[in-house]
């Protein structure tokens, strides 16, 4: 993949994205950000390309690639919306794999995926478009991670786990072998998932159980 990359959003996750990009030898064209002061604070040495609006005037879809600098503390919706919005405008997304991540031979990683430092993806695994495999996450053999899903820092998907589109696996969570995490489901930080999780359900704890919605 050639061509410079723009980081969309200049908050905390963007710092991690920048590190991954630089480790992998990408040239960074600049950052977009609604809050110009945050961009200047976090990236004083990178070109500020203004807000997302009208980016095409400053960085055309043919000029290179984008990558999303927004993490999402417990939801994948914001990242998905950004990917969809810019894809509709004709942008392509870089496949960003940190130099210190380990991808076994034959692992499939789709367009727009981010794999951060220390992550391990083992044989037979595949990672769908725009998914985020965060710092030190483990995607062990024969796992499937759906499009736009987020496997959080230090989370472990043991063997042959299936993660649906847009699901969120929180930091340090463990999913036991062969379990299915439904599309849009949320696994709280530190949970141990012993049973399949239906689409959209939020679970927490050891063993993981549904989070009760707050009253009022």
Ligand X SMILES: CC(C)(COP(=O)(O)OP(=O)(O)OC[C@H]1O[C@@H](n2cnc3c(N)ncnc32)[C@H](O)[C@@H]1OP(=O)(O)O)[C@@H](O)C(=O)NCCC(=O)NCCS
Which residues sit in the known binding site for acetyl-CoA? Answer: 150
Locus of tokens 């993949």: 1
Q: 32 vs 154, which CB is nearer to ligand X?
A: 154
Q: In what order do the strands lie in the sheet with 162-163?
A: 108-109, 126-127, 144-145, 162-163, 180-181
- Pick the catalytic residue: 13, 98, 141, 148? 141
Q: Is 153 in the site for ligand X (CB under 6 A)?
A: yes
Best CA proximity match to 94, nearest among 39, 27, 42, 166: 27
- CA 59 to chain CA centroid, nearest Å: 23
CB of residue 208 vs ligand X: minimum separation in angstroms?
Answer: 9
CA distance 30 to 110: 23
Q: Is 30 in the site for ligand X (CB under 6 A)?
A: no
Q: Is 73 in the site for ligand X (CB under 6 A)?
A: yes
**DSSP conformation class of 37:** H
Q: 205 vs 207, which CB is nearer to ligand X?
A: 205
Q: Is 170 in the site for ligand X (CB under 6 A)?
A: yes
Q: Quick one: which segment of 36-44, 45-53, 177-185, 186-194 binds ligand X (CB under 6 A)? A: 186-194
CA distance 168 to 129: 15
Binding site for ligand X (CB under 6 A): 71, 73-74, 134, 152-153, 170-171, 186, 188-190, 204-205, 211
């Amino acid at each position: 993949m050639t061509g410079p990359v723009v980081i969309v959003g200049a908050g905390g996750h963007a710092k991690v994205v920048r590190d991954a990009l630089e480790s992998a030898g990408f040239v960074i064209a600049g950052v977009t950000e609604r809050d110009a002061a945050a961009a200047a604070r976090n990236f004083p040495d990178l070109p500020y390309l203004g807000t997302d609006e009208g980016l095409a005037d400053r960085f055309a879809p043919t000029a290179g690639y984008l990558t999303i600098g927004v993490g999402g503390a417990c939801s994948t919706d914001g990242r998905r919306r950004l990917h969809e919005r810019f894809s509709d405008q004709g942008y392509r997304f870089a496949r960003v794999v940190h130099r210190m991540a380990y991808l076994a031979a034959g692992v499939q990683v789709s367009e727009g995926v981010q794999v951060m430092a220390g992550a391990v993806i083992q044989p037979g695994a595949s990672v769908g478009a725009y998914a985020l495999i965060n710092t030190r996450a483990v995607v062990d053999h024969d796992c499937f991670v759906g499009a736009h899903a987020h496997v959080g820092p230090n989370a472990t998907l043991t063997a042959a786990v299936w993660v649906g589109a847009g699901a969120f696996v929180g930091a340090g969570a463990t999913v036991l072998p062969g379990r299915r995490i439904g599309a849009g489901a949320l696994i709280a930080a530190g949970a141990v998932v012993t049973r399949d999780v239906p689409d959209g359900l939020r679970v927490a704890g050891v063993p993981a159980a549904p989070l009760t919605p707050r009253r009022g």
